A = this chain, B = another copy of it.
Amino acid sequence: MRQYVNIFDVANEAGVSIATVSRVLSGSAGVREATRKKVLEAARRLDYRPNMLATGLSQRKTRTLGVVLPMIDHPFYSTLYMAAQRRAMELGYFTVLFQIELGSERITREMVDHLIGRRLDGIVASGDMLKSADFDEGGSSLLEIGRYMPLAVVNSPVPLNCPCLSSDLEGACRTAIDHLRALGHERIALLGGNGYESFANTREHAYLEYMRKRGLEQYIYPYTLGGTAQEGAACVKWLLENFTGARRPTALFAFNDLVALGAIRQMRLMGLSLPHDMALVSCDNQFFSPYTEPPLTTIDLHAQKLGRKSVEILLAERSKLGMEILPSTLIVRASCGTPASCRGDSDAEG
């Protein structure tokens, strides 16, 4: 394995001091053109690549941002990450991905130590899937990180003592259910679990609030639901077995498109056809949602925008603490049926 070339080697080769080499390579002014050429030439000849560890140590800056997410193999998060990393790159930062361990779904002590130990220039962390302990001020929680470096939290269920950016889950829920009610549905179930309902900005919370306020029956799946297709299928099965006849829901609001995918399949298996026997709205607008049968009506949570914007507020000089909500938008396709009022703003409203 070849030896790494260092700045002394280049200085030697060019017959100058390391200070000059550094100046040339970092583009500082005040180097004679002839010297510049010599150094560049030497660096090229030796294939010199500066040691970024040393650079980081010396400058106390790594030009690197950390992104903390659960489940990068979930389309929502991989989209978010892609967008974040691209924006970071545009702004001159490199990005590293940290995954919150599945199962634990906790910011562990080692995680925090690692994040701080890397001397990153900032952290974007996803707040959903976290338990309340992760938001404690003390110990080795998420917020501990914010004491050492800029921190922005995405999709936190509660406002925190740092800039927060979230999709409008409450609004998404309202839009979804309003849409279903406009189509005449009353018995609307949530395809989502009971894991986090104590927080304000969650689908569960919003669903419960909405239904309670309007005196509509709430259908609660008594198990936790993480957001996979399998869980979607299980949830539909449970619902259809436990609420029959006149109590059977006529519409479903799915936790996300993956859950919807499983739900659709399960319904087909049970002989129900969409949108005739059951209407379905979902969340995320993921890449596959135009390709389901029927195509999914879904609320776009703008994972891309979330990703981009989160690094922007992270890097902004002064961005305000607390919660900023990103509006979500309804994408009407076919899974709820499409009444006249949804096909466009035609005059055929009545």
Contacts and interface: CB of A to CB of B under 8 A. Distances in A.
Contact of A99 (B1, B49, B85, B262): B85
Contacts of A113: 49
Nearest to A115: B49
Contacts of A261: 288, 291
Q: How large is the interface on A (under 10, 10 to 19, 20 to 34, 35 or more residues)?
A: 35 or more
A199 interface: no
Interface stretch (A52-60, A202-210, A212-220, A316-324): A52-60
A63 B261 CA distance: 39
Contacts of A2: 147-148
Interface string A259-276: 001101100100000000
Contact of A264 (B51, B54, B81, B291): B291
A4 interface: yes
Nearest to A266: B291
A119 B268 CA distance: 53
A291 B79 contact: no
A57 B49 contact: no
A114 interface: yes
B49 A53 contact: no
B56 A53 contact: yes
A73 B85 CA distance: 12
Instruction: Indicate how many identical chains form the complex.
Output: 2
Given A49-B116, A148-B4, A293-B293, A229 B54 contact: no
Interface in A186-211: none
Contacts of A82: 72-73, 99
Interface in A269-300: 287-288, 290-293
Contact of A290 (B54, B94, B117, B265): B265
Given A73-B79, A148-B4, A288-B288, A51 B117 contact: yes
Contact of A119 (B51, B78, B148, B287): B51
A46 interface: no
A-B complex: 3 closest residue pairs judged by Cβ atoms: A293-B293, A73-B78, A52-B117
Interface of A: 1-2, 4, 49-54, 56-57, 62, 72-73, 75, 78-79, 81-82, 85, 94, 96-97, 99, 113-114, 116-119, 147-149, 229, 258, 261-262, 264-265, 268, 287-288, 290-293
Given A73-B287, A268-B293, 12 more contacts: A1-B149, A2-B147, A52-B119, A53-B62, A54-B57, A75-B75, A82-B99, A229-B287, A229-B288, A265-B291, A291-B292, A293-B293
